[in-house]
Amino acid sequence: MTGPLSSRHAVYAGSFDPFTLGHQDIAQRAAALFDRVTVGIGINPEKHPLFTPEERLVMAREVLAPLKNVDVRCFEGLAVDFIRGCGARVLVRGVRTLSDIETEFTMTLANRALDPEIDTIFLMASERLTHISSSLIRQIALMGRQSAASKLEDFVPSAVVPQLLARCRPPAAG
């Protein structure tokens, strides 16, 4: 996309593996602040995600379908390049803890050096969701197989639970 970048269009980028209630909360709040929000599912070849980019895309689209000003896309490469390609000027990041803030501060400085026209805003996680992380959810689903089904809805949208349980199902005894 060429032309001026829009400050009314924001990108919420992440790996979203899996998409959590915390991610949903940040996306909803960003959608209330901006005319348009693009959720960018980053593809990092160095990571070993639980779900493929296409699976994450389908889950995020299903969860965010009620938000008419939100679209979901996958991207490879630098977030700032994706944001610019979307015609946006704002990167939204959710933060839960002080360690998140430290990590995000470093990333923001790098992004600013790469593209000074793109600004980052931080949305604090809602208090009831600060303990949720994708890695915690993967651990619960993998280790708590029997009790996980009823508990996972405390961490992920209900549309994500079946895919998460199916992916974390133990191998059949042979």
Q: Which residue has the tokens 């940040």?
A: 26
Residue type, 112: R
Q: What share of the chain is helix, strand, coil (3-state, %, to 5)?
A: 45, 20, 35
Q: Is 96 a catalytic residue?
A: yes
Exactly one of 9, 15, 23, 84 is catalytic; name it: 23
- Going by the DSSP 8-state scheme, the letter that residue 15 receives in this structure is -
Nearest to 2, CA basis, from 96, 122, 86: 86
In sign, the C-alpha dihedral spanning 12, 91, 95, 67 is negative
CA proximity to 44, closest of 10, 71, 17, 65: 17
Q: Which among 73, 96, 112, 167 is annotated as catalytic?
A: 96
15 is catalytic: no
Known active-site residue 134: yes
Which residue in 47, 48, 99, 150 is the catalytic one?
47
Which of 9, 93, 134, 138 is labelled catalytic?
A: 134
Active site residues: 23, 47, 96, 134
